[in-house]
């Protein structure tokens, strides 16, 4: 089984994505996550470009990694300086890394217009820079920037830039589709030509996703002889992003038989994807292949029925291999298979009861016509099913609630909620403040219930989403509130719908608490 080395540039190229900004602490945390996953190289940044990257390389010197080598990124020397006096190259030495990745120009257009140098000067810049870093005992990965565009424009010159790096002692040469416009056929043809010219050179691939082909281009490059793949977690990167390692890794290892990670680490891939998004403070792409929440989600009744018999009917692989899971969605498109599958998942017994399944489907259709959606609201669906089965008993009854929001003299917003409940025949009257009206309601509800149902102390709200359903109604529009809750064992979604956002939030809150009690 051929080993493919993984070069992660989330901390450098990934930070060039719009809206992404990691602190030094974030970068070190992500580096640990990548090291635990089994990544071979972690590109930490460009130490000469900004104070944050300089601080990262200072602090990371004290961190021990089990698998990965930390890489510092830079460019070839300036055309008017010698390598040993070039500030950029000297900062790479100063970073005290053992591996440097430098980029140089492969496209004659860039040499003459961006560098304003002659073609021969550029070759000398590449050669001198690699030789200098090698003289400092560094491992050198040379990134041939814009290589594929350069090859198409001037094949001989693009190849001569690789030759300059190889003769100077580069340990690896990475072919870069910097503009991200190549298609798999281009990559295959050009990598094959490079491999014929340099059969013994250790080649890598660095693809951008501007043509939505970065993953495919990376896989094709490996098939044609590249042994190192550069990319980022979740495809973070400038413009349309970089090649997504969360798709490349399972494609190479599970589909094609290359070795990227141990099997033990492969099952952590989904968790790593979501953890990095969490640190980046961005919502995960639920439709992302392999690791997305909906990557193995099934909604159509025919699909669910088939998957229940054999998962391969509508799944290209086993989701557990990369730490993901199958999800069965319940909606107005559902058949009895969906309801049976989902009910079994929620430990509700509907087996051999087609009439009850049909009743639940009708209830779902009626609710969705009013604006409800149960695809991400397992808790609310479980309560709906329990009611349809005649097993539901309310754990408490609302008598009334009152919410007030005011702005004090200091300009601070203050929210207060008052709740009256009937709990097991006793009246509970509580008052609580919160960061907003929904938080105040949540606090007051928990305060009223905790002595009766102490298990709710384990519940925390992990996400709160509001969606306007009929925007044309303006401020009188109906809203859908989706709350994600979790306890130490699991997470669940609940939903509320109303023209009043407070009422919709209350409905979702009540379902979240009732589902926790129902689980027990």
Which one, of 33, 60, 57, lies nearest residue 45 by Cα? 57
Which residue among 210, 228, 261 closes a domain? 261
**Torsion sign over Cα 103, 109, 114, 118:** positive
Task: Give the bridge partners for 252, in sequence order.
Answer: none
Walking along the chain (520 residues) 10 residues at a time, the average pLDDT comes out as 96 95 95 97 93 95 96 96 96 97 97 94 98 98 98 98 98 98 98 98 98 98 98 97 98 97 95 92 90 81 64 84 80 54 58 70 77 82 82 89 89 92 93 92 94 92 85 76 89 91 94 89
pLDDT at 381: 85
CATH (domain of 412): 3.30.160.740
Read off the pTM.
0.74
Are 258 and 274 spatial neighbours (Cβ–Cβ below 8 Å)? no
Q: Does 136 map to a domain? A: yes
In this prediction, residue 410 carries a pLDDT of 83
- Domain-terminating residue out of 210, 232, 261: 261
Q: Is 142 domain-assigned? A: yes
**65 domain-assigned:** yes
- Taking the C-alpha atoms of residue 206 and residue 177, their distance in angstroms, rounded to an integer, is 6
- 54, 90, 104, 494 from 94: Cα distances, Å: 9, 6, 20, 53
Specify the CATH number for the domain of residue 36: 3.20.20.70
Give dist(CA 131, CA 98) in Å, integer.
15
In a domain, 95, yes or no: yes
C-alpha span between 417 and 424 (Å, rounded): 22
Q: What's the pLDDT score for residue 407?
A: 86
Residue 519 lies in a domain: no
pLDDT at 241: 97
Q: How far is the C-alpha of 317 from the C-alpha of 254, rounded, in Å? A: 9
Query: How many CA atoms are closer than 13 Å to the CA of 28, on its beta-carbon side?
Result: 15
Whether 90 and 236 share a structural domain: yes
The answer to whether residue 241 sits within a structural domain is: yes
Whether 106 is covered by a domain: the verdict is: yes
Residue 291, helix vs strand vs coil: coil
pLDDT at 347: 58
**H-helix segments, 118-226:** 119-135, 147-153, 155-167, 184-197, 214-223
Q: From 261, 296, 324, give the residue that closes a domain.
A: 261
Containing structural domain, residue 401: 396-452
Regarding whether 401 and 257 lie in a shared domain, the answer is no
Q: How many domains does the chain have?
A: 2
pLDDT computed for residue 518 by the predictor: 84
- Strand ranges in 219-290 using DSSP code E only, listed in sequence order: 228-231
Asked whether residue 213 is domain-assigned, the answer is yes
């Amino acid at each position: 089984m051929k080993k493919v080395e993984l070069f992660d540039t989330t901390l450098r190229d990934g930070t060039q994505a719009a809206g992404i900004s990691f602190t030094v602490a974030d970068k070190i945390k992500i580096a640990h996550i990548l090291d635990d996953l089994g990544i071979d190289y972690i590109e930490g940044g460009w130490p000469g470009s900004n104070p944050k990257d300089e601080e990262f390389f200072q602090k990371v010197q004290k961190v021990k990694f089990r698998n990965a080598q930390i890489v510092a990124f830079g460019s070839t020397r300036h055309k008017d300086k010698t390598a040993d006096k070039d500030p950029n190259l000297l900062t790479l030495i100063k970073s005290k890394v053992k591996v440097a990745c430098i980029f140089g120009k492969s496209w004659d257009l860039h040499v003459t217009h961006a560098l304003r140098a002659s073609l021969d000067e550029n070759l000398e810049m590449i050669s001198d820079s690699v030789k200098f870093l090698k003289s400092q005992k560094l491992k050198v990965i040379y990134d041939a920037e814009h290589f594929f565009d350069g090859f198409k424009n001037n094949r001989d010159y693009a190849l001569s830039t690789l030759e300059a790096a190889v003769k100077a002692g580069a340990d690896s040469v990475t072919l870069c589709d910097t503009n991200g416009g190549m298609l798999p056929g281009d990559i295959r043809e050009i990598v094959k030509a490079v491999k014929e010219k340099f059969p013994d050179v250790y080649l890598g691939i660095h693809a951008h996703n501007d043509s939505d082909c970065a993953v495919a281009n990376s896989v094709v490059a490996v098939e044609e002889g590249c042994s190192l793949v550069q990319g980022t977690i979740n495809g973070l990167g400038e413009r349309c992003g970089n090649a997504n390692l969360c798709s490349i890794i399972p494609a190479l290892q599970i589909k094609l038989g290359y070795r990227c990670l141990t099997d033990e680490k492969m099952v952590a891939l989904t968790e790593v994807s979501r953890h990095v998004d969490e640190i980046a403070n961005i919502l995960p792409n639920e439709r992302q292949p392999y690791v997305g929440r909906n990557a193995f989600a099934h909604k159509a009744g025919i699909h669910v029925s088939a998957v229940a018999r054999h998962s391969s009917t509508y799944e290209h692989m086993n989701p557990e291999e990369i730490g993901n899971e199958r999800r069965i969605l319940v909606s107005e498109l559902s058949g009895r298979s969906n309801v049976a599958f989902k009910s079994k998942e929620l430990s509700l017994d509907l087996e051999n009861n087609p009439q009850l399944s049909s009743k639940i489907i009708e209830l779902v259709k009626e609710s969705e016509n009013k604006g409800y959606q149960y695809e991400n609201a397992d808790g609310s669906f479980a309560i709906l099913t329990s009611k349809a089965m005649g097993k539901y008993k309310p754990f408490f009854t609302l008598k009334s609630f009152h919410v007030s929001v005011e702005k004090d003299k200091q300009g601070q917003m203050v929210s207060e909620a008052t709740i009256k409940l009937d709990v097991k025949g006793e009246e509970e009257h509580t008052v609580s403040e919160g960061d907003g009206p929904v938080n105040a309601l949540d606090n007051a509800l928990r305060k009223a219930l905790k002595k009766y149902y102490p298990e709710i102390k384990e519940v925390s709200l992990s996400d709160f989403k509001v969606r306007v359903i009929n925007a044309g109604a303006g401020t009188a529009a109906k809203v859908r509130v989706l709350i994600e809750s979790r306890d130490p064992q699991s997470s669940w979604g609940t939903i509320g719908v109303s023209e009043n956002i407070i009422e919709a939030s209350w409905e979702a809150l009540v379902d979240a608490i009732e589902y926790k009690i129902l689980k027990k």
